[in-house]
Structure 1
Amino acid sequence: MTQFVSTISGKVCYTWYMSATFISYRRNDSAGHTGRLYDHLCESLGEGNVFRDIDTIKPGSDFVDAVQDGIKHCSTLVVVIGNHWLTAEDESGRRLDHPLDYVRLEISSALKQGIQVLPVLVEGARMPDPTDLPEDIAPLARRQALQLSDDRWDYDVSRLISALAEPDITREYPQKTDAISTDDITAIAAHHIPSDKNTIEKKNKSRLISTLVLLMILSAGLVIWLWPGKQQPPASSKKIEEKTLPIETKEIVVIDNDSVKIERKWDESVIIEAKEAKEAKEAKEAKEAKEAKEAKEVKEIEVESIQFQNEITLLLDRARENLNRLQLTSPKEDNAVEKYRRILELQPGHTEALHGLEQVSRTYVGLATKAAEGNEFNKADSYLNLARSIKSDIPAIRQVEQLISSLRQRQEQAEKSAANREQKDVQSDLQSLEQEQSRLSCESGCKNEALQCEQKAQTIDCSMKKIQTQCDDMHNECLRDPQTLLTWGELGAAAECLGIYNQCKEQQLKACETSQSKQLTKCQTNLDSCLINCL
């Protein structure tokens, strides 16, 4: 706070003035950073000495005059520049190119009036080139900028406050000889605010001395006024002047031989809007982070799916090799059964793995049958137990069990009966067993053929990618057809060709699905016929 003493028409007026800092910014560019900066500056310079926005312009006031009037009462214009400050647009184009853009008006007014302009960069923004700015604010590009970094915010803000505390000695103030107006008072006050604590303490001491001198002068005047024979002067007159700035209400009251009273009222809507902008930005960042996380999870699932399919393919190849080498259940960790069971752990219900286990089980059933035919019933039981442990729901297992039991009984009877009769019965049983084995083998072959037929049907490619490739050529040929262009015109030809393209996709997809369905039906029909022939 600085004290000025001026003698006007024989009167002594003592007034104190506070300098003002005007913050210019775009709400959709740096509202959050500006709100944070505003709080720090208010804490250091005083809330009444920091202004932002022009929301307090009265209805009916000239917009340009209001901006210029608000700027001229400030000592420094702080221009907050973010990443979208230069390129911000509205329905008419880039906002800076509009002569009535409020940011452009604020900077232009400050430059014209010789007010100190201090660019402040946030969010890693860079100073614009003079060629990117309108001519009236191009000198802004030559001003030394100050960077406000989130990582060192407090340090950078302290540098800004130090810069604001230094008075702009290059600015000229109006000179009056016979009277001093409110505009003169405000203009002089706008450049004489000490912001740092040391300067304030010095000024307080100076103010105390000035107050003592003032009291002495008033005491002397009182003695002279009360001196006998002197005529008592009329009551002191009072002059009250009021000035309204664009961003706050300031009232200056000048009283003869008294001090100046200043009252300010700040518009809190800017703080609320900054808070809302910050919350919106945080919500947007949270949404983007969530979307990025979901995209990452989808990508990881796709990678896992590819790895999963590759592992299944590798296990199937190795299981087929084990099956061809009759490595059914041994060696312990390298056999067909272990591979097929691992596939079913990864993908329950896998068709080929289930069929492979069934094939292994049937192989053991066949070995059990041969052992039984050779009267090696213990060996037959061992093979049958292996078949049962692999896949117990095969009907042939029950049949072979009955066969082995029957053969055992017949063998025991043969030992008690005559050799010829026993031999005849055994041959008859063996013939029945051969017939049954032949039937089982026939059914197994039918099912293998049906499985191969179904796999062949599933190889028919009905994917949209293939169908689109086939229809793209037809679509492009239609677009290049001059007759179509001549008949339908450019827009009509495009619509006609698009209809042909969509019709092609529908026909191709329908034909492909029909072909696949027919092939599967044919596979089932052949299986039924084959099974009937096995009876």
Structure 2
Amino acid sequence: MAGKIFISYRRSETAWAARALFERLARTFPDRVFIDVESIGYGRDFTQEIDRHLSDCEVMLAVIGPTWFEELNDRLEAGESDFVRLELSRALVRGIPVVPVLLDGAKMPRPRDLPDDLKAVSVRNAMGLVADDGFDSKLAQLVRQIGPMLTRAAPVVVTPAVTSPPVTVRNRPSWMHDEGTDQYGRWCEFKVGNVVQRMRWIEPGTFWMGSPSNEPERQENELRHRVVLTKGYWLADTACTQALWEEVVGANPSKFQGDLQLPVEQVSWNDITTVFLPKLNDQVPGLNLELPTEAQWEYACRAGTTTPFSFGEQITPEQVNYNGNYPYNGSKKGTYREKTVPVKALPANGWGLYQMHGNVWEWCADGFGDYPPGEAKDPVCPQDNSTQRVFRGGNWLQGGKFCRSARRNANALVTQDYRIGFRMVRGLADQ
């Protein structure tokens, strides 16, 4: 079997980076990248599966975030098991090359701070990875360096020469300004005047919507239920900027100004659906943008995770813009910025979507009502069921609990609030 790449990471702090690594590497080395939970079948023994995959592993990427050692130490003091430690120690025993990937300024732990079975990690040559404009090029560099480390190359399949059928070139839809693929998957852009907005293609899928009963600081209206989304959709990778709003409407209602890359806020549900979106769709024929449903929004926010946040069990102000004086579930206090920040100022989630946690609440299409029990397919709460509309994601003013993936809020259609903005979805499912 071809050699494999094993990605070791802590879901509580580096899930988004591990997902970006996985998707980028999987395109170059198909079926040769292992990423714990997603690569292990239901009902399997986790320890046995780690051993099985390590037996076929030729290189391990150890994603180390700023709190990696702190969590290791906490688990050691509490006498708790640590699967990250298990993965690393067994890789070192087997002589598998371990490449530390230091995320967002994380430092290599010193030998004296590590248990005996992990001390060898501290002398491995590490690679730094920061969620900034150089992220993509660093990933490309990592791919180039890993290739020669996989000595058991995938078998070459020789097929008889055949006459290839004519290649059908996809005609780009008229509303698209540009399109492509990167470490997160497919993207496209549309343009209004000099303003360009990027969209991310979200594949159809199934997920758990709402929160489990044991999730800290949950609400009763977050009934956990299975949701099936049968159609893919294009979702804006950021909240709508003041630049785009001004270009379409000709005015800027926001409280916080001075940078057109800040999210537009103080816009009501009615402002968006009866003024902004009709004008935008008129200016770019075929664009057909609208507000996402609650299910579309949460599916994209989670980006394949089931934890309270797409970043894991906790968040920090370095990941999310919220009131750091009120951290989630007893975590440490942190920065309170007292205002919004530019829409790409903080890291994207594993699907390339920026600040779905915090900064500004985001309006959704749905009326506000209880979730139905049981599995739901392409759900949307009817707008005539309520005079209120849902908004999701938390904001800069309130604490960490409001930023959870499952958190729900609602307000009147005419509400204009400096905590509320929105992002857009393309309603037609054609690609």
TM-score scaled by structure 2? Answer: 0.38
* Structure number with bigger Rg: 1
Q: More strand by proportion, 1 or 2?
A: 2
More helix by share: 1
